[in-house]
Amino acid sequence: MNKKISVTLLAAGLIAGGCIFAPVEKASSGDELLSIRFGTSFGECLGYCVNTLMIDEQNMTLSREGWGQGGSLPGLRFEAGPDSKRWSMLRTAWSANAESFSALDSIIGCPDCADGGAEWIEVRTASGRKKVTYEYATDLQGIGELQRSLRGLMAQMQAQVEGTPGSLQFSDDAPGSILLDPIVLRAGRVQNDSLILDVAYGGGCKQHQFDLVMAPAAFLESYPVQANLYLRHDARGDLCKALIHETITFDLSALKHRYVQAYGTTGSTASESIILNIHTPKSDGSVARLQLTYVLYFEG
């Protein structure tokens, strides 16, 4: 079901290349959850590089700020309406991870050092608020359920904002003929039937093209079965050197359909999954690989 999202321009200022951390107060693990803010930022990039998700019992809002070669981009705000299941999921995650979150330092590691990006969570309860900032895509011990929930919601909003997910292609061509321009795969995750990839690449002057190709087109026989996927990046001759950060989404429904055609389904999600081997070309000519698990969910 598609949900209506309203878009608002913001008159928001930016500080390029730096981060502002709010003062840390106290959020008691025993208090009722009032709201959560979750954000990511990259100091050295072009585009909408600062994303903030604010969630409470009534609404979920995604704010985006960024800059281009001509200066700051207009701030954007995307709003989704109430969703009792969403809020219930977050309350459950907070209850499970509240004690560990409350014990964390306000800054962990070196957020956005060497343009590695920063990620942060701010929780507000009846007794106050606490913000924890850490290196982008870092999994912190004791708050995994909260991080997974927030990253999933951020990905859902970004996918709706950025349009329809790209489709998966199938090929029996050699990998060398599929992979084109180098790209850095910073992180990846599977959300329902969507593959969400956080990437970085050099450019800034042209629109780049991304395709996801399964090659060979047949599954690799193992348990679970495996699929070799190749991220095809076409820079279209872009000679600019700005570091661009982008989140791209691909629809895996065709892969699920191919699995059902080949193996059928028992109707049990616990034992039905596909190992995704995601390959990306590096600047030195080698190929990097990220492995994820795609759990298959079936209706009925």
**Digit-coded pLDDT (tens) for 150-177:** 999 998 887 776 655 677 889 988 998 8
Residue 14 has pLDDT above 50, yes or no: no
pLDDT, residue 13, reads 40
DSSP 115: G
Residue-wise pLDDT for 60-115, tens only, equals 999 988 887 677 877 888 888 788 899 999 999 999 999 999 999 999 999 999 87
For residue 213, what pLDDT band results from cuts at 50, 70 and 90? very high
Two tokens at 232?
């095809």
Which residues of the chain does CATH 3.30.1560 include? 6-162
Q: Is 98 in a helix, a strand, or coil?
A: helix
d(CA 214, CA 187): 19
DSSP 255: H
From 289, 287, 290, 291, select the one nearest 182 (Cα to Cα).
Answer: 287
pLDDT, residue 25, reads 56
6-162 fold = Mago nashi protein (3.30.1560)
Average pLDDT over residues 182-204: 91
Residue-wise pLDDT for 222-274, tens only, equals 999 999 999 999 988 888 888 888 889 999 988 998 999 898 876 655 568 99
pLDDT, residue 17, reads 38
Average pLDDT over residues 201-229: 91
Average pLDDT over residues 132-145: 95
Q: What are phi and psi of 235, to 5 degrees?
A: -75, -10
Q: Is the pTM of this model over 0.85?
A: no
DSSP-assigned beta bridge partners for residue 168: 212
pLDDT, residue 27, reads 65
The alpha carbon of 123 is separated from its chain's Cα centroid by a whole number of angstroms, namely: 20
Locate the DSSP E strands across the chain.
Answer: 6-10, 33-41, 47-56, 60-68, 71-72, 75-80, 118-125, 128-135, 166-170, 184-191, 194-203, 209-214, 225-234, 242-251, 273-281, 287-295
Residue 117 has pLDDT above 80, yes or no: yes
CATH tag for 166-295 (out of 2.60.40.2370, 3.30.565.10, 3.40.50.300, 1.20.1250.20)? 2.60.40.2370
Which residues of the chain does CATH 2.60.40.2370 include? 166-295
Calculate the alpha carbon distances from 68 to 19, 45, 47, 63, 73 in Å.
18, 8, 6, 17, 6
Residues 196, 202 contacting (CB under 8 angstroms): no
pLDDT, residue 23, reads 44
Q: Is 278 in a helix, a strand, or coil?
A: strand
